[in-house]
Amino acid sequence: MAFLDLSWRTFRPAEGFYDSEVEAPEAQPVRTFLPTGYEPRYPYPLLVFFHGGGSNEEQILRFAPRLSRRNFICIGLRAPVCIGSKGKSLGYSWGDASQQTVIEDYLLRAVQQTRLHYHVHSERIYLAGFAEGAEVAYRMGLTFPEKLAGVISLNGAMPRYERPLLRLPEIRSLRVFIGHGIANPSIPLSMAQEDRRLLYSAGVNVEMKTYPTTRKIHAGMLKDVNRWIIDQVNEY
């Protein structure tokens, strides 16, 4: 007889970064950040990070402690297409819509595995994407709105080609935060503003903030994301 593993109820790992792999035919990495003072009986919000093009899961998850060292469990996933070295690290791309099925399976397995090992609140799972990764976060969020609490786009935009259909009325349960640099040369501010208008017209609860930066993650973005999620937690 199989028994459910409930060891996370008493397990108190130290704050920091942990590496693992999802259990799949082809191993895929999961980079995890655990908060300081991890309390196994508290159901934490989970943030799933999608890195920008040419980056990787280790680089994007470096922002997790700057977001908050106490409030969230965070995981970073690696894009499926290797595009070569960037300095001492390999860079990866999320590809196009043809990779969606692979990424869907990867995301669902990674979330499931994280929930088996740590105490995650089932109704507080957020997807956070930076630049190219924001497009993936949007695509996954609009595909599985019933499984998620929200989507966070940092200097990114929704897919412009093969735009995912807005699942009404399911997507109205999603919340979306858009943080965008006013001088972003890669993804103009006007694109993020267009996304906000589209989501708002569909009945989605969407908040948008702008920052005095280009395509980089601004410290104010992280501060606002932390506040945005905690405000939702305090609503319960």
Residue 225 φ then ψ, to 5°:
-65, -45
Strand partners, 225: none
> Which structural domain, as residue segments, surrounds residue 191?
15-235
* φ/ψ (deg, to 5) at 186: -85, -45
Q: Measured between alpha carbons, how far apart are the two ends of the chain, in Å?
A: 37
Per-residue confidence of the chain (236 residues) as pLDDT tens digits?
344 455 556 678 899 999 999 987 788 999 999 999 999 999 999 999 999 999 999 999 999 999 999 999 999 999 999 998 877 889 999 998 788 899 999 999 999 999 999 999 999 999 999 999 999 999 999 999 999 999 999 999 999 876 666 777 888 999 999 999 999 999 999 999 999 999 999 999 999 999 999 999 999 999 999 999 999 999 87
Instruction: Provide the domain count of the chain.
Output: 1
Kindly state whether residue 7 falls inside one of the protein's structural domains: no
Does residue 100 fall inside a structural domain? yes
Alpha-carbon distance 214 to 224, whole Å?
Answer: 17
CATH code, domain carrying 132: 3.40.50.1820
How far apart CA 185 and CA 81 sit, in angstroms, is 24
Q: Is residue 168 part of a domain?
A: yes
Asked if residue 9 is part of any domain, the answer here is no
4 domain residue, yes or no: no
Inside any domain, residue 216:
yes
Does any domain span residue 93? yes
Give the separation between CA 173 and CA 185, rounded to whole angstroms: 32
- CA torsion through residues 161, 217, 145, 194, sign: negative
Q: Are 151 and 126 in contact (CB under 8 A)?
A: yes
In a domain, 167, yes or no: yes
User: Whole-structure pTM over 0.95, yes or no?
Assistant: no
